[in-house]
A and B are shown apart, each in its own frame.
Chain A
């Protein structure tokens, strides 16, 4: 019964989205205030029914309703309750329902927080959200209904959730990532609405900027949690694999980062307008492309026969419609858009243009690396694979100019900057960066790795130029500290974002060049020395979990001088229902290094293959991402974006007048 309610609610949400896509636009065309104003109630309706549908599926999981096929396939009575809840998005249909809930939430948030926008513009934005909704709801109802029944042959128990997903990281990773993915649709909706109205001005940029930043924050955190999850859950000891699924989330992030910076130029200087619109369209299209790649199974060609080809076709057509439609609109409207602004070669505009070009290049590189094997195969040229070294190498080369420009950017004035003014600060920053970049590995490491030094220099360059920028901003003030505080949240957001990037570079440079990995054969009682630590394999015990049996190995870690560090447990779990084996890694963490132990297989004589990693500074990678996200949140809370009472009242009055 509840399953049918969920299905019906989903159909109703589709109906609301279809109305939302049409009526407000008719209202705009006929200048009918009431028809425009109905966009909000329709959005709320879409949200509420999607929520009901989602709750119905959650209930199906919590109540072990195995008459719902999706529940039967992804849950089990032995599964702990928290994982029965997260199993809702453990597989295709349910994760798409979560996707829809997120999409509807963004639309509802837009409806609530767009009250100070002109009614015409708000109606257009919400209508575009409705159009996107139509595509996705149709996709769900036609190809991936999560409420399909198993009646009359209801299984006694479910087939259990994929063991990899039975983990706390998986509780938050998909919702965060989806918030980011779908959030790009808001930036897209703003861009399309502006194109429809033919008004691409700095007001439009100011309205869409906080939404873009919000989506970017979620995307950043989503990717970060995913990387962290892969690190400890997959047991390979890596934090990024350039896997197509990862690339699918990285593509919109790169485009979104470019968009965020380009929006700043459009807001502050009124230039780069058509470029910004194009980036907004690309960011969302890349989100859709990512969805298509992950969901249709084209990337791993073996999936093509296992999964439903209609899904892929549907998503591909939807992607085609979105890209073709928005580019057509862009072609018609953007020609009229002109940017009248003059700027010199050495100005913040040009530096941000450089930032954008590099980010777009990075996007292209990831796109080529991800799609080339696919194209190659479709052309009948055989199977190829593009390895991690390709991405690592190209990204290293792209990071160098990117980081250098990043140091210049914030210091430079809009329009025109005399180099002489900055020469001393820049030379000082460079000298410090190079000096300390060489000194740190020389003092702390046994060998000096060239790439680590390069990474450190780039990161320190960003840090010192950021400090120089802050100094410059308060140079003319008498009271330095109060002036620093008064700089504005948006400014601090930028500072934190850039420092986060620097922290991340340090993490990547150090861990890639100084990590130690060793695979050893160990039995109970054996000791291995790796990277200045002793790993003593104390014992092996069998343990019974709720839905798995585990071999748990206890390791005693100590310093080489015998000082005890910690006791950790590494496990090899056998999940009885899915009959899958899963490695649980043992981790001992501090801010400067991770000790990582993964159990391999048991060997003939009862000893085990054990992989031990010592990973210095690996936490800094995720810390950097968190810092960037905090920067984003900081910008969001800037005064400019808070509802300005008077302005809001004025807009409301005007909207009410139009609506009546």
Chain B
């Protein structure tokens, strides 16, 4: 083999090996870190046509509305528990230790990420509330379409113009980093 071809062979094969390694790494990391999203109803009754229920011990995300009056603190610590609901009647309980996000309110939509410790009980490692007050967890919005959701920013504010664009960009556009969730 002449030196030039040899060089090409070495370069091509090392790039291929590198690419294979990178792909493998990405796929492995993905398989470890993809979390499926459920609504409370899907957790209790199963998801999709086959009604697949998540297993106890599975890591997942759940999104729903905080049931008013269900938020309770336990003892003197910082553990808080509350119930989540979507279209009902199924409810699940979320337990969380730590500080709830600023936008966490009863009746508001939130997303919790954590591990299912019982068929209807989630030990959350993270609770997220959207900066946008219009926010409802994905999927839930579809299920609840048609229900009027009054954002808190409009509840007491006498909005005396009927400009359509007001509703579009109500605090929804954050610039730059971190413009997603509030935790």
Contact = CB atoms under 8 A, between A and B. Distances in A.
A385 B78 contact: no
B179 A245 contact: yes
A485 interface: no
Interface in B29-46: 29-30, 32-37
B22 A95 contact: no
Interface of B: 7, 10-11, 15, 18-19, 22, 25-26, 29-30, 32-37, 47-48, 61, 73, 76-78, 97-100, 102-104, 113, 130-139, 141, 152-153, 155-157, 159-163, 165-183
Nearest 10 pairs of A and B residues by beta carbon: A600-B99, A383-B37, A230-B178, A226-B177, A390-B33, A226-B176, A153-B161, A581-B102, A245-B179, A230-B177
Nearest to A163: B171
A519 B33 contact: no
B30 A386 contact: yes
Interface in A321-350: 344-345, 350
A228 to B, nearest CB: 9
Contacts of B175: 89-90, 95, 165, 170, 173-174, 177
B106 to A, nearest CB: 13
Contacts of B179: 243, 245, 294
Nearest to B145: A305
A57 B57 CA distance: 54
B177 A155 contact: no
Contacts of B161: 69, 72, 150, 153-155
Given A301-B138, A350-B11, A241 B36 contact: no
Contact of B7 (A345, A397, A580): A345
A63 interface: no
A578 B171 contact: yes
B175 to A, nearest CB: 5
Interface string A111-139: 00000000000000000000000000000
B62 to A, nearest CB: 11
Nearest to B131: A164
Nearest to B111: A385
Nearest to B182: A234
B37 A307 contact: no
Contacts of A235: 102
Given A73-B166, A382-B37, A603-B73, A345 B29 contact: no
B4 to A, nearest CB: 8
Interface of A: 69-70, 72-74, 89-93, 95, 148, 150, 153-156, 159, 162, 164-165, 170, 173-174, 177, 222-223, 225-227, 229-230, 233-236, 240-241, 243-246, 249, 294, 297, 300-303, 305-308, 344-345, 350, 357, 361, 365, 368, 372, 377, 382-387, 389-390, 393-394, 397-398, 519-521, 577-583, 598, 600-601, 603-604, 609, 611
B183 A73 contact: no
A240 B48 CA distance: 35
Given A294-B179, A390-B33, A600-B100, 19 more contacts: A69-B163, A155-B161, A159-B157, A170-B175, A222-B176, A226-B177, A246-B177, A249-B176, A249-B177, A300-B130, A302-B136, A306-B132, A383-B37, A386-B33, A393-B29, A394-B29, A519-B97, A580-B102, A582-B102
A360 to B, nearest CB: 10
Nearest to A577: B157
Given A69-B163, A306-B168, A390-B32, A174 B176 contact: yes
A73 B172 contact: no
